[in-house]
A and B are shown apart, each in its own frame.
Chain A
Amino acid sequence: MATTSSTPNSARPALGRKQLFGLALLLVGGCVLPFLVSNYRVFQFTLVLVYAIALLGLNMLTGYNGQISLGHGAFYAIGAYVAAILMDKFGVPYWLTLPAAGAVCLVAGFLFGLPALRFEGLYLSLATFALGVAMPQILKYKGFEHWTGGVQGIVIIKPDPPEWLKVSQDQWLYFVALATLLILFLIGWNLLRGRIGRAMVAIRDQPIAAQAMGVNTAMVKSLTFGVSAMYTGIAGALGAIAIQFVAPDTFTVFLSITLVVGIVIGGLASISGAIWGALFIQFIPNVADQISKAAPWAIYGVFLIVFMYVMPSGVAGLIRILGGRLQRLRQR
């Protein structure tokens, strides 16, 4: 990522009064939205929230901590399958599957992060790429079929809203996702503002200096991997519940690449970028699909390349730059 003035070098996303106001507006808008649009649209926006959570996770790892992951789709898949198996085989209520998926992915991410400690950026990208490519095969493995349902996957029953709330299933799920996003956003924001966040950024920018200054690089990197996997796993669980279905071939390496597209578009090392990226990866395929089946990916590819040349700090970065320019204009 470019260490220009448009990328935050500190891990302290500042929240001035204007931004708080903007956030409050967004929140109100977000709560009102499900009542203004059709159920199908609500479903789509739920997926936007789901992706935003996943992107938050990936961004923590790649944007703030500088560890490249081309395999985060694997953790999304694990979270999705944990939720599906718990609900289908053990009758666990849907809302419990979220922390369960989070816990499993936290451990899985931490464990994968441990050997990954010694890998430099390029090698880590190789290893995570391999993870992303191998995941569907692992999920299809006959030995696990009893749990995973093999190639056919598992069907999930959509949860009902509580009786005292007069909303549709889709609307309820939307609010569950929104609440989850807000909680995770707050946790993430706190994390990044604090000592750990600064350690993460220090490791990204000057790993040797960070180590020399007493930052336990290994621990922070593994923890970051774990937390980032946790977020993505929770997103996977929510996504599975929303779509009501998990199957191995929905979790190919292209899902991992989609997540990377999301953080690149939204903005590396940016929390608000998660929303922009999520909007992009949810709605662009819908539009592009009408041109041709292959079009969404061609567009992704072109955007990836163009953004690296032109807007390395993504949409969030662009807004920051424009915001800065606007401020300077006003000060004249």
Chain B
Amino acid sequence: MNVLLHQVLSGLATGGIYASVALALVMIYQATHLVNFAQGELAMFSTYISWSLIQAGMPYWAAFFITVALSFALGVLIERVIVQPVENAPILSVVIVFIGLLVIMNSLAGWIFSYTIKPFPSPFPTAPLFGNSYVSSHELGSIGITLVVLLLVFAFFRFTPLGLAMRAAAQNPVSSRLVGVRVGWMLALGWGLAAAIGSIAGMMVAPTVFLEPNMMAGILLYAFAAALLGGIDSPGGAVLGGFIVGVLENVVGSLLGTELKLTVALVLIVGVLVVKPSGLFGKVHITRV
């Protein structure tokens, strides 16, 4: 029972990471009907930026917030410069551009920061809260930060005019233009926000998995599975999917061993696509012939 509780809580911590990345994926999908394959590498690159700032002597939280801001800017830049020109290109072209982006970010990180594994600091104390044996302070802190971020994002979309405009632009770009929304910039903002969320996920997971250019590949896969499970066009679903996948991964991992974790993700992805492609909360799309 103790072990199960520990697995579940650990799973919630990683689940929060998956939920964040999944949310980023869904945000971009909702606006563009595209899956950003480079999301993981962007998050990884952001984490390296914060690592550099910390190495240069900056205190953790200063580096944290500056990284989030820089990641936002990077996301906006990438959308305007690289993604926007291929907006209307066939899907294959866009997928390839995203893969290109993935590869560039990955190799840039390796080139600038080398491939050696680096430790990444956690802002939370090493001693577990109240000396409990179920969840480390970092895991607890990670869940906390993830929840705060997710709540802020939801509040932004629900209650602010800009959030409303972004939702409108994603759902109905034509009508959005008719009320004066600059749809192009809404897309760029969406990318910026997604990149910012991804950077937070990266910084939360790096202390556990250690910082190296390939650290996000497996996480990205799980985020895909989470987004598909929750419904690729449902932000709430993606978040829920993330937590479910996190707990599932841990519990299954303790039964099957950790070596087949990626295979589990693969099975999950194929399984969801075969059984219920719209996921738990997504909309079923009926295409008119």
Chain A contacts to B: CB under 8 angstroms: 1-2, 62, 66, 68, 70, 115, 118-119, 121-123, 125-127, 129-131, 133-134, 137-138, 140-142, 208, 212, 253-254, 257, 260, 264, 268, 292-298, 300-305, 308-309, 312
Chain B, interface SS category:
helix
Could you list 9 examples of A-B contacts with CB < 8 Å?
A: A122-B34, A123-B273, A126-B269, A127-B266, A129-B224, A130-B266, A293-B110, A305-B82, A305-B100
Give CA–CA (A62, B105) in the complex, Å.
25
Count chain A CB atoms within 10 A of each CB in B91, B104, B115, B225 and give the residue with the most. Answer: B104
How far apart are A75's CB and chain B's nearest CB, in angstroms?
14
Q: Which chain A positions have C-beta within 8 A of B286?
A: none
User: Which of B2-10, B131-139, B257-265 lies at the interface?
Assistant: B257-265
Chain B contacts to A: CB under 8 angstroms: 33-35, 37, 82, 85-86, 89-97, 99-108, 110-111, 115, 217-218, 221, 224-225, 228, 257, 259-263, 265-266, 269-270, 273-274, 277, 289
Cβ A115 vs Cβ B259 within 8 A: no
How far apart are B42's CB and chain A's nearest CB, in angstroms?
13
Give CA–CA (A134, B265) in the complex, Å.
8
Q: A133-B221, A294-B107, A309-B86 are in contact. Are A115 and B270 (CB under 8 A)?
A: yes
Cβ A297 vs Cβ B107 within 8 A: yes
Q: Which chain A positions have C-beta within 8 A of B108?
A: 294, 298
Q: A133-B262, A298-B107 are in contact. Are A208 and B273 (CB under 8 A)?
A: no
Q: List the A residue with the shortest CB-CB distance to B82.
A: A305
Give CA–CA (A141, B264) in the complex, Å.
13
Give CA–CA (A305, B81) in the complex, Å.
11
Cβ A126 vs Cβ B228 within 8 A: yes
Q: A1-B93, A121-B95, A260-B96 are in contact. Are A308 and B86 (CB under 8 A)?
A: yes
How far apart are B221's CB and chain A's nearest CB, in angstroms?
5
Cβ A130 vs Cβ B103 within 8 A: no
How far apart are A83's CB and chain B's nearest CB, in angstroms?
23
Give CA–CA (A1, B90) in the complex, Å.
6
Count chain A CB atoms within 10 A of each CB in B224, B270, B274 and give the residue with the most. Answer: B270
Q: Which single member of A2, A131, A253, A308 contacts B100 (CB below 8 Å)?
A: A308
Beyond contacts A68-B95, A70-B99, A115-B274: 13 other A-B pairs, Cβ-Cβ < 8 A, are A2-B93, A118-B273, A129-B37, A133-B218, A134-B263, A141-B263, A257-B99, A260-B99, A297-B103, A301-B105, A301-B107, A303-B100, A305-B82
